[in-house]
A and B are shown apart, each in its own frame.
Chain A
Amino acid sequence: MQFGYTPEQEALRREVLAFIAEHVTPEVMQEKSAQDDFQRGPEAGDPFGPHMRELYRKIGERGWLGIAYPREYGGQGGDRISQYIVEEEFQRVGLNIGLSGSGAPAIMAAGTEEQKRYFIPKLISREFSFALGFTEPHAGADLASIRCRAVRDGDDYVINGQKIYTTSGHISTHIYLIARTDPSLPKREGLSIFLFPMDTPGITVRPLWSIQNNPRAPHGTTYGEARTNETFFDNVRVPKTALLGGENKGWKVAAAGLNLDRVGAFRYVMSIRRDEDIVNWIKETKLDGYADNPAVRDKVAELWIEAQVCRLMTMRSMSIVQRGRDFTYEGAAEKVWAPEHGVRTTEAITQMLGPYGQLLRGSPHAVEDGVFAHNVLGAFQSGVNHGGVQIMRDQVARRGLGMPAPRRKAASK
């Protein structure tokens, strides 16, 4: 049991902070904001502008990309905790340089040698990015009920169906798609995962507009910065080598990948960044009179303690990954606690800002470009996406505590 970092890891964090102070300039962040243009399509190609490309080159030079990935796949062969430290500090300034949510953990776990060599280095360097093609209009929490079909045809599969909430699908190079390959099998057993380029003929991406983006959410909004989409697949032909983890093995591959995607710096920082904000504003007297308000002090302390639990649960997950163990329920537990905490903080802040908390981006007197108003319109999404908190509680109870699955009606399959 060791709650501290090694001197080398502490030094790494200082080095990263110094790097960020020097190289993550306002120009870089302005360029990032501009590049977030919702209207861009896959035809725009390189998602980076010159400043961001240069920044990534420098980060790569330091050996900070894919630290815990093996060298043969473009990583550094280092430890998971060091990778976490680097990811956390970049995430704190709004740059997700990590690979959670990227598909990389699932490819490492289930991919062929060829797939690892093809995808991992380019995911690390950000040349490739995956959109997640899981949810369908009628199948969200009950993922195994998806209808999107992949039919074997010679050496190919032909895919037909619709996916929804394919976030960033319009600027992703590839998609990580789950489709039904055998409808005769029980619903979890006939699924497969496919990895293929978004410019494959037959794919149509259409934007979906969330309540958080009217007007466009400012930088730093929880879940508001990315555009989400619906994506249609019309006789999309992909080679059988697009299959990840074997035909009809999709459920297990998806579950393992999702578990690894749910933990790490991105989720952690997303959940706790506003805790620091409220404390620091109170200290900087941006919120007048609150430093001495006993109700506010009690609330702030309560939230801070909850945030520490977020941090420690993240550390627990990192410790498990670092030891090479699998989660039983710990990732799911973190995915319940952290998002719900983030929401509690978001809502508490609105009560501290009072009427100023309503003001959206562009409004006169908007606080920090309206980020808190936009947050309250979407922070709860963190309890919905990527495995909602109710599903996560099911997992804690059933996998972690061995509680029985609910009885199903005989008629349903």
Chain B
Amino acid sequence: MDVLLTDEQEMVRASARDFLEGECSPQLVRAMEVDPLGYPPELWRKAAELGWQGISLPEAYGGSGLPLVYLGLILQEVGRAVAPLPLHSTCVAALTVAEAGTKAQCEAVLPGVVAGEKILTWAFTDEDPRFQPEAVTMSAVGEGGEYVLSGRKMFVDNFVSADHCLVACRTAPARGSSAGLSLFLVDTKSDGISQTPLVTTAKDKQSEVVFDRVRVPAANLIGRVNEGWPIIERMLDRATALLCAQLLGATRKDAELAIEYAKMREAFDQPIGAFQSIQHMCADMIIWIDGGELLTYEALWRMDEGLPHRVEVSQAKAFCNEKCLASARNAQIIHGGIGFMMELDLHLWYRRVAAWTMRLGTTYEHRARVAEGLIDHPGRVVLGQPVPVAEASEEPQRDRYVA
């Protein structure tokens, strides 16, 4: 038990921070908000030279094979700089290909990702934004060595720049333990695909993507037909924990901007940062961010260790959703009127923090998952111990407190 970063992890983080401080200015972030692709190819290439895209991908495909915690550290720095890089969506999809794809699928995609030549993304949500298998209605129908995909996906990250997209489709009605979903690796340039950019608070690149009888080779099925849900669920869990890291990086920087502003801005003949009303807001912000980090890294660490992590991922996202937005709101309030103005850079962080708290599961959804883990299995819970696994034979005690 040592929840602090190792020296090596500190080094990875520090070098990522130095790199982005040199390469990613607020001007660049602003420019990419109105850029059709939304990312600077030069910076993406440099990130690949540093090995970021492949940091947690297998060495067999050119990656570094490091634990997800390391990718979390990189994404945290990407969040800190609000760097306009399609790293999160690329890594989330690539890790799923690496985990569940065939050798041929891996070879087709992963070396290109590691080299910074390919951008990936993933698509789950149709219309219903819940992260439940039943929310997926988009269909894929087998037709002579191919699948024909029809439907619509929402909130697809970086689709405008992506080469491949992992698409969750319904290939069968849900039955018994099978959710009837399958996951496909789709070339984004395939015939029948059209996309419409969405205008988001983050001014990032998310699209509504329509699939009109898009033909995908059967060889592009990830895993087995109708058995995609466990793969998708792991993908979503990883995506969620990694988004928390990115969100926390942005929130901490945003908080630091407010703290520095409070030390400098004077009112009533002294820095406003000398007022306890402001100090206590800042103290809470740091306590929340620290708490979110501890939850997030525990979730990532459990994934790396191959331990159950569903509850831990949801703990992190539920907490970050509320606390990161509250922290960023405090940072706005500490800045007063100027925080509301386009000319100040602060909104670059606030708008992204707000957007990311709405993605990959709401507070209520994630708390529902935690409650399910806690309450719907028999056996006593002990904090710090894994939530008990169901044992049907146990009879609940019946000495009631409330009749």
Chain A residues packing against B (C-beta within 8 Å): 1-6, 9, 81, 272, 275-276, 279-288, 291, 294, 297-298, 300-302, 304-309, 311-313, 315-316, 318-320, 322-323, 329-330, 333, 336-337, 353-354, 356, 367-368, 390, 392-394, 396-398, 400-407
Give which listed residue, B1, B262, B370, B384, contacts A2 with CB less than 8 A: B1
The 6 closest A-B pairs by CB, nearest first: A397-B279, A312-B294, A301-B367, A396-B283, A297-B371, A301-B370
Q: Which of A279, A297, A402 contacts B368 (CB 8 A)?
A: A297
A1-B301, A298-B364 given; 8 more Cβ-contact pairs under 8 Å: A1-B6, A279-B381, A283-B374, A284-B398, A286-B399, A291-B376, A309-B291, A397-B279
B217 on the interface (CB 8 Å rule)? no
Task: Report chain A residues within 8 Å CB of B398.
Answer: 284-285
Interface flags for B294-317 (1: CB within 8 Å of A; 0: not) read 110110011001000000000100
Interface status of B282 (Cβ within 8 A of chain A): yes
Determine whether the beta carbon of B1 is less than 8 Å from that of A286: no
User: Would A1 and B401 be within 8 Å (CB), given that A319-B1, A336-B287 are in contact?
Assistant: no
Report the stretch among B200-208, B239-247, B268-276 that lies at the interface: B268-276
State how many angstroms separate the Cβ of A308 from the closest Cβ of chain B.
6
Is the beta-carbon distance between B295 and A309 smaller than 8 angstroms?
yes
Q: A1-B301, A308-B383, A393-B280 are in contact. Are A400 and B286 (CB under 8 A)?
A: yes
Measured CB to CB, the nearest residue on chain A to B291 is: A309
- Kindly state the separation between the CA atoms of A400 and B9 in the bound complex, as whole angstroms: 22
B64-81 residues with Cβ-Cβ distance < 8 A to A are: 69
**Most A Cβ at <10 Å: residue of B9, B287, B319, B378:** B287
Contact of A313 among B259, B282, B290, B375 (CB under 8 A): B290
Number of residues in B with C-beta < 8 Å to the partner? 62
Interface residues of B (CB under 8 A from A): 1-6, 9, 69, 259, 262-263, 269-271, 273-276, 278-280, 282-284, 286-287, 290-291, 294-295, 297-298, 301-302, 305, 315, 318-319, 364, 366-368, 370-371, 374-376, 378-384, 396-403
Q: Which residue from chain A places its CB closest to the CB of B299 in the assembled complex? A: A3
CB neighbours (8 Å) of B275 from chain A are 406
Q: Are A305 and B2 in contact (CB under 8 A)?
A: no
The residues of B that contact A401 with a CB separation of less than 8 Å are 259, 279, 282-283, 286
Say yes or no: A333-B399 contact (C-beta < 8 A), given A279-B374, A308-B295.
no
The distance in angstroms between the C-alpha atoms of A337 and B69, with both chains bound, is: 25
User: Contacts A287-B401, A404-B271: A305 and B3 contacting too (C-beta < 8 A)?
Assistant: no
| Residues on the A chain within 8 Å of B380, using CB | 276, 280, 283
Distance in Å: Cβ of B84 to nearest Cβ of chain A: 28
A366 to chain B, nearest CB (A): 10
Q: Are the C-beta atoms of B378 and A283 separated by less than 8 Å?
A: yes
Establish whether residues B280 and A312, one from each chain, have CB atoms under 8 Å apart when the complex forms.
no
- 16 chain-A/chain-B pairs, Cβ below 8 angstroms: A1-B2, A3-B302, A272-B383, A279-B381, A285-B400, A298-B371, A300-B371, A301-B318, A304-B383, A315-B1, A322-B2, A333-B286, A336-B284, A367-B401, A392-B283, A403-B273
Q: In the complex, which residue of chain B has the Cβ closest to the Cβ of A5? A: B1
Contact A403 B282 (CB under 8 A): yes
Contact B384 A311 (CB under 8 A): yes
Query: Are B375 and A276 closer than 8 Å at their CB atoms?
Result: no
Q: Contact between A397 and B280 (Cβ–Cβ < 8 Å)?
A: yes
Q: Tell me whether A283 and B368 are in contact (CB under 8 A).
A: no
Complex Cα distance, B378 from A6, in Å, reads: 27
User: Complex: how many Å from CA A337 to CA B305?
Assistant: 28
* A329, closest chain B residue (CB): B286
Q: Are the CB atoms of B283 and A397 closer together than 8 Å?
A: yes
Q: Quote the shortest CB–CB distance from A338 to chain B (angstroms).
A: 10
B297 touches A3 (CB 8 A): yes
Residue from A3, A297, A309 within 8 A of B1 (CB atoms) = A3
- Complex formed: what's the CA distance from A217 to B58 in Å? 59
A390–B381 Cα distance when bound, in Å, is 32
Residue of B274, B301, B302, B402 most packed against chain A (CB within 10 A): B402
- Cβ of B397 to closest chain A Cβ, rounded Å: 5
Q: Which of A9, A311, A336, A367 contacts B383 (CB 8 A)?
A: A311
Q: Are A276 and B402 in contact (CB under 8 A)?
A: no
> When the two chains form their complex, are residues A284 and B302 in contact, meaning their CB atoms are under 8 A apart?
no
In whole angstroms, what is the CA distance A308 to B298 when docked? 10
A305:B295 contact, CB within 8 angstroms: yes
Q: Is the CB of A323 within 8 A of B286?
A: no
Q: Which residues of A contact B298 (CB under 8 A)?
A: 3, 308, 312
Of the candidates B1, B2, B280, B402, the one having the most CB atoms from chain A within 10 angstroms of its own CB is B1
Is the Cβ of B3 less than 8 Å from the Cβ of A319? yes
Are A318 and B1 within 8 A (Cβ)?
yes
